[in-house]
Chain A
Amino acid sequence: MLETLKQPWPWYVAGALIGLTVPYLLLVGNKTFGISSSLRHLCAACMPGDITFFKYDWKKEAWNLFFVGGIAIGAFIGAQFLSNPDPIILAESTQAYLATKGITDTTQLLPSEIFSWDQLFTVRGLIFIVLGGFMVGFGTRWAGGCTSGHAIMGLSSLQWPSLVATIMFMVGGIVMTWFILPYLLTL
């Protein structure tokens, strides 16, 4: 049993459990699913300043912070006790491409060549770790949601603006991956 759990879980198991989050949150507390707003609640709780966008009763949304806290705990459990000892099995074409850019360490979920403390203050590290994070936080809020809010909650409730946002996520990701990353990875 434990050995099976330690293997990578198939997409349909993961997809079903993630999809069930939608009815779970609705049924236990009338909450709509999403994650990126937790970043806004942190701003509202810790440093609202004089900014209208952060002036609301964030305690009403504290549930979302409890939820993301759970995600971090769950990831800790998954990594500590259910960790897969083998390297991640990538598509051969992806692996070959990344190798041409010097990314060969597939022993962990993130490449150590980019995401490590000693890379942080290189040009590449600043772009991948600092600028990338900024774009995720800024972009999701401007878009009004992230993958969970728009692509899962929004599409599940048949809201067309969420479909537009989801398409734009894909467009941005494809442009970056095909036209900009080939350069950024070699920095």
Chain B
Amino acid sequence: MSTNLEQASTADADLSARELDAMCVNESELKHPWWYNFKYTVWGILFGIVFVKAEIISWFRIQEMFRFESFHMYGVIGTAVFVGLISVQLIQRLKLRTVHGETIHIPKKEFNKGNLDGGLIFGLGRAITGACPGPLFAQVGAGFSVVIVTFLSAVAGTYVYGRFRDKLPH
């Protein structure tokens, strides 16, 4: 019994560690064979095709967006939020469960100063690179090999953040 409790508290601590400074988290308590993860690869492939075909990974489209000279990116993000919002509402109101029967859980995030400072730095960087983390993967996949450097730089940025997290305001 006590080992069960210990296991549960370690699992909780690990979930909190994974939820720290993150929106996307595995909230499932189930364990599956590793190849179950291919269902995320399949959706990722569709996602990557959309990224290229709607030119979302284009540096030019990001310039247009921040210069307010095209509706395209606002249309993409606006539609995505609209569809996401309706979906989340339906899932919550109909109390839908996952395909494995689990209750769906979306953690509520608290505000912290990083939302401001980090958000500003990301915004500045996004206008330079014309990319968010997702499009970086897609640009590399689409054959822009020099973006591997941008990508490694982004990993380095994340690493430096982790290293100095305690010293930054939150």
- Which A residues contact B (CB, under 8 angstroms)? 5, 8-40, 42-43, 47, 49, 51-57, 60-64, 66-80, 82-84, 88, 90-91, 93-94, 97-98, 106, 108-111, 114-117, 119-120, 127-162, 164-178, 180-181, 184
Known: A140-B133, A161-B115. A71 touches B159 (CB 8 A): no
Partner of A26, one of B48, B78, B104, B117: B104
Contact flags (1/0) for B127-140 with A, using CB distance below 8 Å?
11111111011111
Most B CB atoms within 10 A — which of A18, A20, A74, A177?
A74
Q: Is A56 in contact with B145, judged by CB distance below 8 angstroms? A: no
Who on chain B is nearest to A90 by CB? B60
Q: How many A-B residue pairs have CB under 8 A?
A: 557
Who on chain A is nearest to B35 by CB? A66
Q: Please, could you name 9 A-B residue pairs with CB atoms under 8 Å apart, sorted by A?
A: A27-B99, A75-B139, A75-B140, A77-B48, A88-B58, A141-B157, A142-B117, A171-B123, A172-B127
- Interface of B (DSSP majority class): helix
User: How far does the Cβ of B119 sit from chain A's closest Cβ, in whole Å?
Assistant: 3
User: For A137, what are the chain B residues with a Cβ–Cβ distance below 8 Å?
Assistant: 133, 153-159, 161
Who on chain B is nearest to A38 by CB? B133
Known: A109-B139, A176-B123. A22 touches B87 (CB 8 A): yes
Most A CB atoms within 10 A — which of B71, B84, B91, B153?
B84
Q: Compute how far the CA of A41 lies from the CA of B71 in the bound complex, rounded to whole angstroms.
A: 34
Q: Is A39 in contact with B133, judged by CB distance below 8 angstroms? A: yes
Q: Compute how far the CA of A134 lies from the CA of B163 in the bound complex, rounded to whole angstroms.
A: 14
User: For B40, what are the chain A residues with a Cβ–Cβ distance below 8 Å?
Assistant: 25, 29, 31, 63-64, 66-67, 70
- Interface of A (DSSP majority class): helix
Q: Compute how far the CA of A111 lies from the CA of B144 in the bound complex, rounded to whole angstroms.
A: 11
Q: Is A14 in contact with B17, judged by CB distance below 8 angstroms? A: no
User: For B84, what are the chain A residues with a Cβ–Cβ distance below 8 Å?
Assistant: 19, 21-23, 33, 152-153, 155-156
Partner of A47, one of B56, B60, B96, B159: B159
User: For A171, what are the chain B residues with a Cβ–Cβ distance below 8 Å?
Assistant: 119-120, 123
Who on chain B is nearest to A47 by CB? B159
Q: Is B131 in contact with A136, judged by CB distance below 8 angstroms? A: yes
User: For B48, what are the chain A residues with a Cβ–Cβ distance below 8 Å?
Assistant: 70-78
Q: Compute how far the CA of A172 lies from the CA of B34 in the bound complex, rounded to whole angstroms.
A: 39
B8 within 8 A of A: no
Q: Compute how far the CA of A134 lies from the CA of B168 in the bound complex, rounded to whole angstroms.
A: 17
Q: Compute how far the CA of A144 lies from the CA of B71 in the bound complex, rounded to whole angstroms.
A: 27
Q: Compute how far the CA of A55 lies from the CA of B163 in the bound complex, rounded to whole angstroms.
A: 12
User: How far does the Cβ of A19 sit from chain B's closest Cβ, in whole Å?
Assistant: 3
**Residues of B41-67 contacting chain A, CB below 8 A:** 41-67
Most A CB atoms within 10 A — which of B58, B77, B85?
B77
Q: Is B128 in contact with A139, judged by CB distance below 8 angstroms? A: no
Partner of A31, one of B26, B80, B146: B26
Partner of B106, one of A32, A47, A166: A32
Task: Report, nearest first, the 9 A-B pairs whose CB atoms are least far apart.
Answer: A172-B123, A70-B44, A74-B48, A15-B79, A34-B24, A142-B118, A19-B83, A135-B125, A137-B157
Q: Is A11 in contact with B23, judged by CB distance below 8 angstroms? A: no
